[in-house]
Amino acid sequence: MKNFISVNDVTDINALVEKALAYKANPLVDKTIGENKRIGLLFLNPSLRTRLSTQVAAKNLGLEGIVFNVDKEGWALEFEEGAIMSGTTVEHVKDAAPILGQYFDILCIRAFPSLKNKEEDYSEQVMNAFIKFAGVPIVSLESATLHPLQSLTDIVTIKEQMQKTRPAGGKPKIVLTWAPHIKPLPQCVANSFAQWVNAWGEADFVITHPEDYELDEKYTKGATITHDQDAALKEADFVYVKNWSTYTDYGKIYSNDPDWMLTEEKMQLTNNAKVMHCLPVRRNVELSDEILDGPDSLVTTEAGNRVWAAQAVLSEILKAQ
């Protein structure tokens, strides 16, 4: 694996998932493969899980991880080609990225979308600039449109759960449901989850959201899409809860309808489904306390699995170097 930006960088999803689960069973089995190598973790936005799980994963492989909070401690970066830098930006990515490529063997980057300019966000200007100029493998820690480490973790968590409850196999029904939120959020997690579940191809996949919350078809094609949440939830095995802002009329909140929040009553429609969320979550806005604190919530296991997904990805990149 050269870079890890989307599911398209993965040749065999199941093999990568099994590798992550093998690391969960034996975290230090490859503790020397990253010896004498460093990864840089660059954050242009906040993080709890991604930052810490990737650092733990790197340490398990013998890599030295160095975190740089670019948003708080770095020079303001310019990404526009040919920019006349007479405004607030101080350093062009063309100058910064090759230097970072000399300091690190792998660069990991988190850069959220502006939610103001769809074309700019969906062109993945930041991630593509680092790929172009750094000269070392790039790992997305969540980009303007996708969150691949989260989605790999989500498939790991689903497969792990299925190995416990359905050893004979069979296709699970997975429902991605929109949830209310007070702020306009990126589409990244939903886009990425849809992209990975579709590429994985081993589930009946349904997406449900209010009208006008359609995601980019590039990611959702292959899923059943409905505005009827109750119908979607029927016989679900996994319910993935996430808010996103509008894609078509970009970055807006059209609805904050609390009826879209998942409750125990709605869970009665499912096949004793397990509930997933990438976190952070706004309790009793996106998801009720009763669900988050109840026996069907996988959110803590899911967040824990972030380590093993990151470790599997870093290991694949190290192997290819």
Q: Which residues bind ligand CP (CB under 6 A)?
A: 47-50, 142, 150, 278-280
Q: Minimum distance from CB of 189 to ligand CP (Å)?
A: 7
Among residues 152 and 225, whose Cβ is nearest to ligand CP? Answer: 152
Among residues 175 and 278, whose Cβ is nearest to ligand CP? Answer: 278
Q: Minimum distance from CB of 108 to ligand CP (Å)?
A: 12
Among residues 176 and 225, whose Cβ is nearest to ligand CP? Answer: 176
Among residues 225 and 239, whose Cβ is nearest to ligand CP? Answer: 239
Q: Minimum distance from CB of 278 to ligand CP (Å)?
A: 4
Among residues 258 and 280, whose Cβ is nearest to ligand CP? Answer: 280
Q: Which residues are registered as beta bridge partners of 241?
A: 177
Indicate the residue whose CB is closest to ligand CP.
Answer: 50
Q: Minimum distance from CB of 140 to ligand CP (Å)?
A: 11
Q: Minimum distance from CB of 281 to ligand CP (Å)?
A: 10
Q: Minimum distance from CB of 57 to ligand CP (Å)?
A: 13
User: Tokens standing for 280?
Assistant: 């952070």
Among residues 142 and 286, whose Cβ is nearest to ligand CP? Answer: 142
